[in-house]
Amino acid sequence: MKTDGFLPRHTCLECYHRPGNKIFGIKFRISPVLFLKKINFAEYREYIFPLSYLLDQAVLDSMKAAGSFDERAAIISAHYLAVLQQHPEKMQAVKIVREILDNSFRKNTFNVPVEEWAAHYHISTRTLQRYFESTTGISSKKALQFMRIRKAAAHIAGSPHTFHYSHYGYYDHSHFYKHLKAFLKKDTLARLQPHLRLLETLHKS
């Protein structure tokens, strides 16, 4: 990459570092960019897009000039906190969606029906879906399923001996493997060889 890039959260990214690379990445569960720009995330697929349209150049320049990661993080945090304060009418949506995502990630409860969440917050399912669309750019189901497979894939790649499909609400190994294949690219799947790790887990369980 020779420029600043934006990658939608629902796209899988592989990065292979080489000497001389200078990468500063920011990952949001809820992107404040949506408060500033009317974005159709359906148009952002398969590629990394220029960030200049989505973030003021002065902010980008100040982050590049910063001398440390902490300084860069402070600059971007201050910028987006100011954005949130300028849109108080959207804070209710942010609060609810953030709580649902955080709760689901912490407890691995990715299959709770949207109707249950809506009832919990005393809003309609349509309103909750609108909250997810406005804060994440995708539906509640997609947001939770992306979070689910990412967490499960990280677990099996990092600690296959402690992985079990039931931890993430999958019915069986084939259910998990089918979801994994849909999420990862074919060459990545081949390198991870999850089927071998699954068989090893089964053998020792």
Q: One digit per residue, pLDDT tens: the chain, 205 residues?
A: 567 776 665 555 566 667 776 666 666 666 667 677 666 555 655 666 777 777 788 888 898 888 888 898 888 888 888 877 777 766 788 889 989 999 999 999 998 999 999 999 999 999 999 888 877 778 899 889 988 988 988 888 778 888 888 999 998 888 888 888 777 766 666 666 655 555 455 545 5
- Domain end: 71, 86, 101, which one? 86
Cα–Cα distance measured from residue 183 to residue 149, given in angstroms and rounded to the nearest whole number: 7
Residue 190 burial by CB count (10 A; 0-12/13-18/19+): exposed, middle or buried? exposed
Handedness of CA 45, 51, 52, 56 (dihedral sign): positive
User: Same structural domain for residues 108 and 63?
Assistant: no
- Domain total in the chain: 3
Residue 22's domain comprises 5-86
pLDDT in the model for residue 154 = 83
Q: Let me know whether 77 and 117 are in one domain.
A: no
Instruction: Tell me, yes or no, whether 189 lies in a domain.
Output: yes
